Amino acid sequence: MNTRFKLLKKCGSGGTGEVYEALDLRLKRKVALKRARRDARGDHRERAARLVREAEILALVQHPNVVAIHDLLEEEDSVSIVMELVDGIPLGELYKKQPMSEGELLGYLRQLIAAVERVHSADIIHRDVNPRNVLVTPEGIVKLTDFGLSSSIHDPEPRAGGSLGYMAPEALRRGRRLGFGVDIYGLGMLAYQALLGAPAFQKLYGTVKPMAWARWLLSRERFRTLVELFVPVSPALSVIVAKMLEKDPKLRYQRITEVEKDIDKLGTRVDSGPSRGPSLGAAVRRLLPALLARPQEKSP
């Protein structure tokens, strides 16, 4: 391990790497350090190659709403990505007990749309847009993280994987070329859950086992709209979320800019995250210590 960095604590792990909070001894600042996992399962060299690819993607898609890369460390027996350490909590924590309002959700969604638009402009698909990979700072700034599964739009056979609850139906079918629509679907599912609230979403879908969920996702039965579920949102937003969640990728939004255009039509209902002021900061700061003390296990 590079002697420049002192590991402070483990923050989480996934199929490719483990993430640590670390201290950069040279620059005297805390960073996030992601390094390839070493265990009996899988090929360490393959994981290291994936980490190098993730670093290249992060360098390509720099944006205020995307976690920033500082460096790539390649040593004889290890590969690590040095990134900014985001002082924030997973977005899902903000609707864990009660739903978000329309204005609150749209404030975050607009930032995420900007992040995804930047990613797509580089012909990259994130492929794992979910609340655990979206961090919110006390100032209400959103950061999209974890590009470990990301691939080129031109990849004919992308690597399988993802978070089942946020995977578009076409992503469940092996050997199929994926489009930007998988990220739009992930954003739609995030918005759907946030406006319903985690308890209501769990009541509707939480008891479904993984295989049963996959079968339902591949069926023609559609998601019930927010208006049908009596969620207090505008009909226009309900239509937008429903179109983001279309199971048939041909019926879904084709470009994230199309989503942005329809969101902009909602006008004054949109509240930017940072403008929500001290109340958000207090909520994030209250939740942050407990969350940082708890390692986050992630899907591959």
297 falls within a domain: no
Number of domains into which the chain is organized: 2
Banded model confidence at residue 292, pLDDT cuts 50, 70, 90: very low
75 falls within a domain: yes
Are 96 and 211 within one domain?
A: yes
Distance CA 300, CA 203 (A): 26
Banded model confidence at residue 272, pLDDT cuts 50, 70, 90: very low
Average pLDDT over residues 10-36: 91
pLDDT digits (tens, 9 = 90+) for 113-148: 999 999 999 999 999 999 999 999 999 999 999 999
CATH code assigned at 176: 1.10.510.10
CA–centroid distance for 113 within its chain: 11
Flag whether pLDDT at 241 surpasses 80. yes
Give yes or no for a contact between 31 and 70, defined as CB atoms under 8 angstroms apart: yes
pTM of the model as a whole:
0.86
Mean pLDDT of the chain: 87
Distance CA 283, CA 203 (A): 25
Q: Which of 85, 116, 131 is the last residue of a domain?
A: 85
Are 195 and 157 within one domain?
A: yes
Side-chain half-sphere CA neighbours of 219 within 13 A: 9
CA distances from residue 109 to 80, 102, 142, 151, 291 in whole angstroms, order as listed: 30, 10, 9, 22, 22
pLDDT value for 299: 36
Flag whether pLDDT at 297 surpasses 90. no
Q: Which of 53, 85, 117 is the last residue of a domain?
A: 85
pLDDT value for 92: 95
Nearest to 119 by CA among 63, 61, 185: 61
295 falls within a domain: no
298 falls within a domain: no
Flag whether pLDDT at 295 surpasses 80. no
Are 231 and 130 within one domain?
A: yes
Residues facing 12 on adjacent strands? 19, 296
Are 76 and 142 within one domain?
A: no
The percent of residues above 70 in pLDDT, for the chain, comes to 86
39 falls within a domain: yes
Q: Which tokens sit at 188?
A: 């739609």
Are 73 and 105 within one domain?
A: no
Q: Which tokens sit at 287?
A: 């939740």
Are 121 and 266 within one domain?
A: yes
Are 12 and 48 within one domain?
A: yes
Are 78 and 115 within one domain?
A: no
DSSP state of 180: T
Are 141 and 37 within one domain?
A: no
Q: How far apart are the first and last CA of the chain?
A: 24
Distance CA 269, CA 12 (A): 36
Are 259 and 156 within one domain?
A: yes
Q: Where are the beta strands (DSSP E) in 51-141?
A: 69-74, 79-84, 89-90, 124-125, 134-136
Greater pLDDT, 265 or 1: 265
Banded model confidence at residue 188, pLDDT cuts 50, 70, 90: very high
CA–centroid distance for 1 within its chain: 28
263 falls within a domain: yes
134 falls within a domain: yes
pLDDT value for 43: 72
pLDDT value for 39: 63
Nearest to 179 by CA among 189, 171, 187: 171
Average pLDDT over residues 267-279: 47
CATH code assigned at 55: 3.30.200.20
pLDDT digits (tens, 9 = 90+) for 60-101: 999 999 999 999 998 877 899 999 999 999 999 999 999 999
Residues recognised as catalytic: 128
Q: Which domain holds residue 17?
A: 5-85
Are 138 and 33 within one domain?
A: no
The secondary structure of 157-173 as a DSSP string is SPPP---GGG--GGGGS
Are 132 and 278 within one domain?
A: yes
pLDDT digits (tens, 9 = 90+) for 144-162: 999 999 999 998 777 878 8
Q: Which of 43, 58, 85 is the last residue of a domain?
A: 85
182 falls within a domain: yes
